[in-house]
Amino acid sequence: MANGDLTPKQEKFCHAYLATGSASEAYRQSYKTDKMNPASVNREAKALTDDPKITTRIETLQARTLKKYDVTADRIIAEYARIAFSNLEDYGPWSKSGIVLKDSSELTKEQKAAVAEFQMVRGQGGVTNVKFKLHDKKGALDSLSKIMGLYAPIKQEHSGPGGGPIPISTEEMTDEELSLVARGVSNN
């Protein structure tokens, strides 16, 4: 889709949505909202994300970015795997007195990818202190587990007192809200 099908504000919304990941924030960045309450901003942002022209444009921009940086599912999984399966011993022998790190030229590209931080600080008496940290293995393992579907979906049920239905006060509802409740449609 050519972006000529969108207004300049809609185009700005699409770019802001990709940058922030938030439809409401993208709406605030693209439209004049200083006199709008948050619920109105959310409603208008939702309307834009429900517009097929907008969603198609966002998907087009996103695909272009992924292609530009060669982001693929395989590359993402490989990067998580580098972190998840990294091992401190790959970086040099260690004992209770410390670690003797290998020279970076001895490390593979995969091993280097797992390094979160490497810092050398000259301390008192000319002693050099080294800070060496690998990326979060558990976070990478959790992400891989989710990708592989190892986590079963968590099912939550909500009920009212004694396991019965949740009571709904209809006294302050508008006619439209009452109609939605009668039809069993959620307003969220």
49-58: pLDDT as tens digits: 999 999 999 9
More confident residue, 171 or 37: 37
Q: Where in the chain is the domain with CATH 1.10.10?
A: 3-68
For the cut 70, the answer to whether the pLDDT of residue 187 exceeds it is no
- Checking if the pLDDT of 188 tops 60, the result is no
Average pLDDT score over residue span 161-184:
79
Which segment of 72-81, 134-143, 149-158 scores lowest on mean pLDDT?
149-158
Q: Please give the pLDDT value at position 1.
A: 47
Checking 165-172 for CB contacts under 8 A at 24+ apart, the result is none
Whose tokens are 């990818």? That residue is: 113
pLDDT above 80 (res 30): yes
Q: Are 30 and 36 in contact (CB under 8 A)?
A: no
As a whole number, the mean pLDDT across the chain is 89
pLDDT band for position 4 (50/70/90)?
Answer: low
Among candidate residues 91, 109, 108, the one with its CA nearest the CA of residue 100:
91
Average pLDDT over residues 127-141: 92
Q: What is the pLDDT of residue 3?
A: 60
- Reported confidence tier of residue 161, pLDDT bands at 50, 70, 90: confident
pLDDT at 68: 93
Which of the pair, 98 or 69, is modelled with greater confidence? 69
User: 3-68 domain in CATH 1.10.10?
Assistant: yes
For residue 2, pLDDT beyond 80: no
At 157, is the pLDDT very low, low, confident or very high (cuts 50, 70, 90)? confident
Q: How far apart are CA 69 and CA 65, in angstroms?
A: 6
